[in-house]
Amino acid sequence: MKYYTNKYMLPTIILLFIIFITELFSFGVSNTKHNLSVSGPGQIKATSEQEVCIFCHAPHNAARTPLWNKPNSFATYTLYTSPTKNAIIGQPDGNSIYCLSCHDGTIALGTVSNKSTQINFGAITTLVGSGNLGTDLSNDHPISFIYDAAIVSTNGQLVQPSLLGLGNLLENGKVQCTSCHDPHSSSYTSFLKVTSQNSALCITCHSKTGWANSTHYSSANTWNGSGTNPWFHTPSTYKTVQSNGCENCHNPHNAGKPSNLLNFGMDNDNCMVCHNGNGASKNIQAEVSKSYKHDVAASSNNGIHSPAENNLVGTQHVACVDCHNPHQSNASVSIAPNVNGFTTGVKGVTSSGIDITPALFEYQICNRCHSTSTWRPASRTTRQVASNNIMQEFNTKNASYHPIIDNKSSTTDMPSLISPWTSSSIMKCSDCHASDGTDAPKGPHGSNYPSILKKQYVTTDNTIESQSNYALCYDCHSRTSILGDVSFSLHSKHINDVKAPCNICHDPHGVNSTSINNGRLINFNTNIVTPYNGVLAWTPKGTRSGSCQLTCHNKSHNPLNYP
């Protein structure tokens, strides 16, 4: 009896265990789309085959472990690539090969190793729709690469699953299909091992800086049902931005834009599908459709933007993510010149031309395109001291400048300023450059006024003075003070009688000059103001006084003193 127990009991127990496990898996699988038998709940199933596990496993004569019943696919796959990847991605191996034996569409569903003829699926031979990944895996989450401490350290925004108690997501240290999917269980949608709701699955590996404090992580906004469904590939039960999480923008399979697995092929479409008034509270799409705008649509079509591009933008384009980091953007406010929550985590260039990531001050983001970029926009006005480089125009060594970088101006005598502005104030670029309208989104998305100004600033000669024509200036400077000649004795005469706009004499950014003649933003428009006897100059002669030598509106100042 003892001999019988030793010799036969263990094999019997093993056999019973195998039967138990098989039945357990069969019971779990039978209620999923992986049950391809005639009893399967999915639309794709065999016409008469009753066995559930046979489509993947065979108890005898299996092609390879684990009792695998499908032949090898000999396809060569197009692999995922991205300018920000650090992993070495090779041809699929491990368990991923098993998954692809059905999901790459090269082997008929009914082809199994232990049958001489195919299992009949009727008119259907391979998977259709999103389940058929094909042999082009460039638009799918990468697989079959080693995921270790080296990858984590070189990326800086990854985390090892083992640190979260999820070491079983890897297969022999590699990311495979089975890192995310459990083919025997549909506890979560798409056979996922961890729910994708609220980004739970993604953040087991991806640890994005600032994500937990971002608006996209916590927003309760919903889609109003108009336009394109932003959540076309996620469960219908995920009805908020928060619940869709990473998949608001990313699609792990069959992504519209392979690089970075974005939902849509055009960069800005991934933002505008929500920020068009159908999801987000502000309609940014309407703003960037105005006459003067940061033209994200044109840049999206040319495909130039890259997340790995230099801080100083070398090729003309503008994308939403040049100014906004979707993983960190939030609604927190700030005081000038600091970045606000919406522009947190973005690349920048300092006033000294040094790369800084992330930008600390708003103007550092603007410097990416509007400082030393070779393609930066031309100045709208021909000036005595020419410049279209904001790094030069706001230089604190200049004789005068609007206080974007600091408030160390050449004078504190600014009687026209309206509260809360004072001579010690610092301002942001977006105090002037922003969307127009009473309830417009903050920031320079688009405007009906040139140069994306938030209010009207007429620069045309012979303009009749009014509150509306110079609304931008009067937003900070008292109209009463200006027309009352408080700071300059002939302001009213020039503005009302001569009909000279502010822009003829004043350069709104600043003057790239240390000469005292360029104090108070004096930098003449040379299309209107010309030299007299070879001299074009305003010369200060004390507080609120000076002289001009020039010709303007056919009148010679040779020179004229003020007051």
Task: Please determine, for residue 150, whether its predicted confidence score (pLDDT) is greater than 90.
Answer: no
Question: What is the C-alpha to C-alpha distance for residues 344 and 215, in angstroms, rounded to an integer?
Answer: 12
* 170 bridge partner residues: none
Task: Please determine, for residue 12, whether its predicted confidence score (pLDDT) is greater than 50.
Answer: no
Question: What is the C-alpha to C-alpha distance for residues 442 and 420, in angstroms, rounded to an integer?
Answer: 19
- Which tokens sit at 542? 């004390």
Q: Is 42 helix (H, G, I), strand (E, B) or coil?
A: coil
The count of other CB atoms within 10 Å of the CB of residue 366 is: 23
- Which tokens sit at 480? 């009463």
Task: Please determine, for residue 92, whether its predicted confidence score (pLDDT) is greater than 90.
Answer: yes
Predicted confidence band at 410 (pLDDT cuts at 50, 70, 90)? low
For the chain, first and last CA: distance in Å? 124
Give the start-to-end residue ranges of the domains of the chain: 2-204
Predicted confidence band at 15 (pLDDT cuts at 50, 70, 90)? very low
Question: What is the C-alpha to C-alpha distance for residues 202 and 20, in angstroms, rounded to an integer?
Answer: 33
The torsion defined by the Cα of 306, 311, 316 and 320, in degrees rounded to 10, comes to 60
In this prediction, residues 371-387 reach a mean pLDDT of 93
Q: How many helices (H) and strands (E) does the chain have?
A: 17, 10
Q: Determine the pLDDT at residue 4.
A: 42
Question: What is the C-alpha to C-alpha distance for residues 141 and 79, in angstroms, rounded to an integer?
Answer: 10
Q: 327 or 407: which carries more pLDDT confidence?
A: 327
Strands (E), 143-266: 145-146, 174-175
Predicted confidence band at 59 (pLDDT cuts at 50, 70, 90)? confident
pTM for the full model? 0.90
Task: Please determine, for residue 164, whether its predicted confidence score (pLDDT) is greater than 60.
Answer: no
Predicted confidence band at 409 (pLDDT cuts at 50, 70, 90)? low
Strands (E), 194-338: 292-293
Residues in contact with 18: Cβ distance below 8 Å, sequence separation at least 6, in sequence order = none
Q: Determine the pLDDT at residue 22.
A: 47
Predicted confidence band at 160 (pLDDT cuts at 50, 70, 90)? low
Strands (E), 141-291: 145-146, 174-175
> 461-490, pLDDT tens digit by residue?
999 999 999 999 999 999 999 999 999 999
Average pLDDT, the chain: 91
- Which tokens sit at 498? 């001569």
Q: Residue 145 phi/psi, 5° resolution?
A: -130, 150
The count of other CB atoms within 10 Å of the CB of residue 265 is: 15
Task: Please determine, for residue 16, whether its predicted confidence score (pLDDT) is greater than 80.
Answer: no
> 218-261, pLDDT tens digit by residue?
999 999 999 999 999 999 999 999 999 999 999 999 999 998 99
How many Å is the Cα radius of gyration of the chain? 33
Q: Determine the pLDDT at residue 25.
A: 47
Strands (E), 106-234: 145-146, 174-175
Q: Determine the pLDDT at residue 155.
A: 77
Task: Please determine, for residue 543, whether its predicted confidence score (pLDDT) is greater than 90.
Answer: no
DSSP 511: -
Q: Is the CB of residue 473 less than 8 Å from the CB of residue 483?
A: no
Predicted confidence band at 456 (pLDDT cuts at 50, 70, 90)? very high
Predicted confidence band at 17 (pLDDT cuts at 50, 70, 90)? very low
Nearest CA to 502 out of 381, 419, 389, 392 is that of: 381
